[in-house]
Amino acid sequence: QVQLVESGGGLVQAGGSLRLSCAAPGRTCSPYLMGWLRQAPEKGREFVAAVTWLSGTTFYADSAKGRFTTPRDNAKNTVYLQMNSLKPEDTAVYYCAGRVGTATEYDYWGQGTQVTVSS
C-alpha cells in the first residue's frame, strides 16, 4: 500500500494563493496518474486536477482552469497543487490520490488537508 503525505493547507484570504504538496516517500513504482480531489461541507467529492506521471499531461476541472496548476517532481515522488486567485467556494478538504493503471478508480489516497478561503 502506497502512503501519500499531504501538506500545505491553511487559511487564506480570497485572491490569495496556496501550494499543496503530496509526497509518496518510499514509493518504488511510478503511478499512471496523480489526481487532486476536494470535498466541501455537505457536498460530494469532486475532481480538481490531475497529471500523468511520465508525460506530465494535465487535466483540470472547469472551476480550476486558469487558476490552479499541478506540477510534479518525479525525483522527489511529489506532486503539487498550486492554487492562485482563491475564492471562498474553493474551501474544502483537498485530497491527493494515485492511480496505478488507466482505470477510473484511484488506488491510494492521502489523508486530506483543509483549505479555507475567507471573503
Q: Nearest to residue 63, comparing CAs of 96, 29, 40?
A: 40
- How many other C-beta atoms lie within 10 A of the C-beta of residue 69? 17
Condensed to tens digits (0 to 9), the pLDDT of residues 20-47 reads 999 998 788 889 999 999 999 999 999 9
User: How far is residue 22's CA from residue 38's CA, in Å, rounded to a whole number?
Assistant: 14
pLDDT class for 64, splitting at 50, 70, 90?
very high
Give the model confidence (pLDDT) of 79-113 as tens digits: 999 999 999 999 999 999 999 988 889 999 999 99
SS (H, E, C) 50-68: EEECCCCCEEECCCCCCCE
Q: What's the grid cell of residue 15?
A: 485572491
